[in-house]
Amino acid sequence: MHLVIFEGVHWRSFAPLSLGRPVFMLATGMATLLDKILRHTNPTKVTLWVRPELAEFCRKRIVPKLTIPAAVNEPLGDEQVLLTSGRTLHFKKFQVPEEPSVVLDDNGLLISALVRMPGMTPQDVLGRSDRFLKIKELPRAKSQTRLTERLWDLIKWNEESLIEDHAQLRRERKPFPPGPYHMIEEENIWLGEAVRPSPGVVLDGSRGPVVTDHHATIGANSVIHGPCYIGPYAAISPLANIRPGTSIGMMCKVGGEISNSILFGYTNKSHEGFLGDSYVGKWVNLGAGTTTSNLKNTYDEISVQTPEGMVKTGRRFLGALIGDHTKTAIGTRLTAGSYIGFSAMVALSTIAPKVVGSYTFNTDAGSQTYRLEKAIEVMKAVFTRRNRGWDEEDEAIVRYVAQIAREVESKP
């Protein structure tokens, strides 16, 4: 089966995390939306339809890691294909329909369709052409997936996603290393290669799996509550409290208290401070004492500023949405439902604004534009500290985000 995964026009709804990556590369559980789509549809070939500015990124960074033939932004041929939104979150095996059909959400948006439409291109989807809209005339089929509408959906569903990933991946269990640490419900605990919990560590699998991937380190007297995922080479500081529903990406350094949050790889939150019900991008640095509020004093529903305006989330608990390459100073305080853009700097003695735009430098003196060349200089320095090279794809992405961020983040 040939699978075509498209971004569509609603990628802006996932800013700031979607500014520099396709929507299907958003993290969930122990994987990405793309990983889950491929796992449950089991295609023989995949084509990725993305914004033109992200096509080369996909060819260089995503396609080489796939185990099946893959293409980017190629038009459809004569064969029948399964067209699916990159915003779908799969929890079970997808049953391909026998006949052409379409699945729409309650607002008439395309979730998936089995079609034969030679010549259709990604621009048909992004431009919502007549050819694309004609798909909606196909017979209706029942949805087999969830359609993610906002980042906070992924936060809300992360515990389920972690449990599903653990069940599906079925990693080979090895004997636990000896040591003065404590495990609760060992059958729900998995330790990767070279993982040796420090003295006093508690791994609590009573509520769900605790998965610590290869070469991660867990500092003394930390408490890790499942369901939780700690990525390869991540480092958990001593005395950390990692609560359920948390996904920590590759080579992150985290400490303090983290609850029901998703952190992309290479992000630093090494020190004390609370991070709750939040979604944090890649290469972020949260200064010592940085704390998010995830609950209003009135216990009311939390709203978030989005490209479509202020949106009610339907959630009583929600922390911060923080874009890639952003940094906060020591003691930074973020209110519930905060939006912090791509490559922003927050260094304030007062509570931070609820909305901080991308490429801005925010101090008590006010908000100024963060010069792109200076921002890139800092990014290169951060990469060097992690023994990571800077290449033309990195450069292209950050310059692209600098072009589109203001438009995406401007109030309607």
Q: How large a percentage of the chain has pLDDT more than 90? A: 94
Instruction: Say yes or no to pLDDT of 19 above 70.
Output: yes
Q: Model confidence at 173, in pLDDT bands (50, 70, 90)?
A: confident
Tell me the pairing of strands 45-49 and 2-6: parallel
Pairing type for strands 327-328 and 345-347 reads: parallel
Contacts of residue 374, defined as CB under 8 A and 6 or more positions apart, other chains included, come to none
Q: Give the span between the Cα atoms of 268 and 284, in whole angstroms.
A: 6
Classify burial at 410, counting beta carbons within 10 Å of its beta carbon; exposed 0-12, middle 13-18, buried 19 or more: exposed
Q: What is the dihedral of CA 236, 363, 317, 401, to 10 degrees?
A: -80
Q: Which of 192, 185, 177 is nearest to 208 (CA)?
A: 185
Residue 171 pLDDT greater than 80, yes or no? no
Domains of the chain, CATH where assigned = 2-149 (3.90.550), 154-409 (2.160.10.10)
What is the rounded distance in angstroms from the CA atom of residue 334 to the CA atom of residue 86? 30
d(CA 88, CA 161) in angstroms, rounded, equals 13
300 CB-near residues (< 8 Å, 6+ apart): 316
pLDDT at 308: 75
Residues 259 and 241: their CA atoms lie apart, in Å, by 8
pLDDT tens for residues 65-101?
A: 999 999 999 999 999 999 999 999 999 999 999 999 9
Query: Is 80 exceeded by the pLDDT of residue 3?
Result: yes
Q: Where residue 169 falls among pLDDT bands split at 50, 70, 90?
A: confident
Confidence (pLDDT) at 412: 60
pLDDT at 142 over 80: yes
Could you tell me the pTM of the whole model?
A: 0.96
More confident residue, 221 or 306: 221
Q: What is the mean pLDDT of residues 227-242?
A: 98
What is the model's pLDDT at position 388?
93
With 70 as the cut, is the pLDDT of residue 267 above it? yes
Residue range 88-137, pLDDT digits in tens: 999 999 999 999 999 999 989 999 999 999 999 999 998 889 999 999 99
Structure-block tokens of residue 126: 């992004």
Within 10 Å of residue 266's Cβ, how many Cβ atoms? 24
User: DSSP string covering 264-291, please?
Assistant: -TT-EE-SS-EEES-EE-TT-EE-TT-E
Q: Is the pLDDT of residue 288 over 80?
A: yes
